[in-house]
Amino acid sequence: MKIPSASRWQRFTACAPSGHLPVSYEESGDAATKGTIIHKFIETSRKTGSRERALKAVPDDLKPLCYAISLDDVPASAESEVVLVYFGQYQRLNEVPKGTMRDDCLIMVADLFDYDKDTDAVYVADWKTGRGFVPAAENNWQMKIGALLGARVVGASKAHVSIIRIDDAGNLHEDKAEFDEFDLCDIEEQMLATLKAGYASERAMGNGKLPVVTEGQHCKYCPSFLFCPAKRALVRAAVGNPEETVKTLEKELLRENYTEAYLGLRRLADASKALWKALFSRAQEEPIPIGDGMVWGPSVVTTEKIDGDIAYRVINEIGQQAQIPGFAEKAVGFTCSKASITRAVASVEGAKDLGSSQAAVVRRLIDSIREEGGVEVKTTERYAERKA
């Protein structure tokens, strides 16, 4: 078994077979690419001390977001992208003597890492850029592994962890937790027990036994979804006979068993997402024939994006020459959102000075627009899973 990296331990601790079952696709995509770019921007900004330099490597569509990220509150002494490893012993990857490390080890890349000798505490932080569900820092296994590995590497007795979520406007939202030596010992014990369970499950499967999986919310992004015994039956039924699957679910509804119907549909939706992911990655290798001489696979679509400022200038000029009043105004509309105001406050010189902080300036501008009747409040209803 290749030990899952720290970011996969939330699932691994809940379901040991997820650590060794084959994977049908790698977790990647637009969100992951965006996350990598933002991580790199922050790392380069901190290392070079120049956000302008770091911005040069950022694609245009992500420049406003990156520009708006304020790193003022990040501890200056914290190192970026520190690789911590456990392979029977705890070490920083760059300090492992050549030839002593096992191929297989538990890896945690700490986006920020620091050690304060005075308080004997390490600080481990992780930037999050996606919108997916992230368990709270105190229950988050990625952060627990970070706390343990970080503390053991320097021999600290405490760990402060922080999940820093970056929203689409570049604002930072922090979720913190603290672990003392008792907590760290507890985490270590659970970590070793999880590894033992993973190896035992792998051995049992090697001996022809079906892995004993534990289903739950952690299944959502499991890359082994299509090899999971619990999901295979569902996927086979759904793909082989979709009408029958729908009928079964309808029956659940008719029996007024709404909970089962909802959970069944959710599993089906997750299974369908996993299947699509697997299909996308297969079609990327080779288009899939779908009958009648047609194939399904990637094709290049070209779209054009018109720059509003230039379009206004050009159409206005032509309109004025031809004496057509209001031509440009009709063709080019203005749009505004809280995110665009926040980006402007962060990037336009002098805008931040309009208030005590960036957030205060944004609030002031929106309040003024509201007073002028420029804010329309829309209430929409959405369905989401939440605490009862």
Residues binding ligand SF4 (CB under 6 A): 11, 15, 17-18, 21, 213-215, 218-219, 222, 224-225, 228, 230-231
Minimum separation from the CB atom of position 229 to ligand SF4 (A): 8
Compare residues 18 and 140 and give the one whose CB is closer to ligand SF4. 18
Backbone angles phi and psi of 384, in degrees to 5: -150, 160
Minimum separation from the CB atom of position 177 to ligand SF4 (A): 24
Q: How far apart are CA 98 and CA 111, in angstroms?
A: 24
Is residue 176 within 8 A of residue 137, CB to CB? The reply is: yes
Minimum separation from the CB atom of position 364 to ligand SF4 (A): 47
Compare residues 108 and 219 and give the one whose CB is closer to ligand SF4. 219
Q: How far apart are CA 369 and CA 372, in angstroms?
A: 5
Q: How far apart are CA 233 and CA 276, in angstroms?
A: 17
Count other C-beta atoms under 10 Å from residue 137's C-beta: 22
Minimum separation from the CB atom of position 22 to ligand SF4 (A): 10
Characterize the bridge pairing of strands 158-166 and 121-128. parallel
Closest to 140 (Cα-Cα) out of 9, 5, 14: 9
Compare residues 10 and 342 and give the one whose CB is closer to ligand SF4. 10
Q: How far apart are CA 107 and CA 145, in angstroms?
A: 9
**DSSP class per residue in 257-276:** -HHHHHHHHHHHHHHHHHHH
Compare residues 7 and 214 and give the one whose CB is closer to ligand SF4. 214
Is residue 10 within 8 A of residue 218, CB to CB? The reply is: yes
Compare residues 217 and 316 and give the one whose CB is closer to ligand SF4. 217
Question: In this chain, which residue has its C-beta nearest to ligand SF4?
Answer: 228
Compare residues 144 and 231 and give the one whose CB is closer to ligand SF4. 231
Count other C-beta atoms under 10 Å from residue 4's C-beta: 20
Minimum separation from the CB atom of position 191 to ligand SF4 (A): 18
Minimum separation from the CB atom of position 224 to ligand SF4 (A): 5
